[in-house]
Amino acid sequence: MPELPEVETVVRGIAPLIEGRVIAKAQVFNSKLRIEIPEALAKQVKNQKIIKVSRKAKYILIELEEGEFLIIHLGMSGRLRVYPNSENYKRAKHDHLVITLNDSLMVFNDTRRFGLVTLLREDEFADFKFFKKLGLEPLSRKFNSVQLFKITQARNKSIKSVIMDSSIVVGVGNIYASESLFSAGIHPERIASDLSKKEATKLYKAIVDTLERAIEAGGSTLRDYAKPDGKAGYFQHQFLVYDRLDKPCAKCSKSISQIRQNGRSTYFCGHCQSFFFKSR
């Protein structure tokens, strides 16, 4: 999916276009996503003004005037696109939800249907299964080098799986995990509890820096993902290791390696990311 930078890009992209607008109509064309879109959703959002768009982990929250939140998760292949002029929209394959805002339109398209759309009141957040185990927001104050060191100290599993664990820290997916570990010079298979304080600090900085640079670039566009205006993000051009098997490392020009961890591809430089402890 869209990881944190892509979701943040979507939020920033749609906010100025839909905040303050009124939902004239909502149409559900296929409710069978990761969880079923509630049958009553279309009727419930109708005629409500959109107050604010925000992000929680990889979830997009669209606050409505009557206190409900339209919750959208993009899964692996979800897109949220706004057409400022609804005349320019023609329904396409996998357009599951279309929200009409008078003259403009917002469309949720999701090829693989791993995404999710639902409607919650704020008092229902705590009971919502997918919100229950969310860890720290990586771009918040609560996530810092002291915390990350505390976390790594307590985990006897690979550092990559730790930073990708959404119950620990949210938003770091498969791309940004590889990229952050490369930037920090840490081998993805290192056991988290073996990291030194210095390494944890370096990793903390690398994660924040990587996510922030990716947001600045409008996220990464590989296949399905696109910004709400339909244009591609640019961060994929700045990948240092992800999807760069056998290509030269930007630092040492040796070949980038690919391994599989927990069923996911991991890319790294075997030279720059030493498996062994280094205090530097």
Partner DNA sequence: CTATCCACCTGGCGGC
Partner DNA sequence: TGCCGCCAGGTGGATA
Which tokens go with 185? Answer: 């010079």
Build a one-symbol-per-residue string for 72-111: x at contacts with DNA by CB under 7 A, - elsewhere. -x-xxx---------------xx----------------x
Residue 52: count other Cβ atoms within 10 Å of its Cβ.
13
| Contact pick of 40, 126, 129, 141 for DNA (by CB under 7 A) | 129
Residue 220: count other Cβ atoms within 10 Å of its Cβ.
25
Cα 278 → chain centroid: 31
Using the contact rule CB under 7 A, the part of the chain among 21-29, 101-109, 139-147, 214-222 near DNA is 214-222
Which tokens go with 262? Answer: 């927990």
Phi–psi pair at 72, nearest 5 degrees? -130, 130
DSSP type of residue 166: T
Q: Which is nearer to DNA, 241 or 249 (CB)?
A: 241
Under 8 Å between Cβ of 211 and 139: yes
Where does 68-158 have alpha helices with state H?
129-132, 145-153
Question: What is the spatial distance between Cα 118 and Cα 116, in angstroms, rounded to a whole number?
Answer: 7
| Contact pick of 63, 68, 199, 224 for DNA (by CB under 7 A) | 224
DSSP type of residue 157: S
141 is an interface residue for DNA by CB under 7 A: no
Using the contact rule CB under 7 A, the part of the chain among 10-18, 60-68, 172-180, 199-207 near DNA is 172-180
237 is an interface residue for DNA by CB under 7 A: no
| Contact pick of 156, 216, 248, 252 for DNA (by CB under 7 A) | 156
Using the contact rule CB under 7 A, the part of the chain among 61-69, 101-109, 137-145, 257-265 near DNA is 257-265
The β-bridge partners of 257 are 268
54 is an interface residue for DNA by CB under 7 A: no
Residues binding DNA (CB under 7 A): 1-3, 6, 32, 34, 57-58, 73, 75-77, 93-94, 111-114, 129-130, 133, 154-158, 161, 166-167, 173-175, 219-225, 261-265
Q: Which residues are catalytic?
A: 2-3, 58, 264
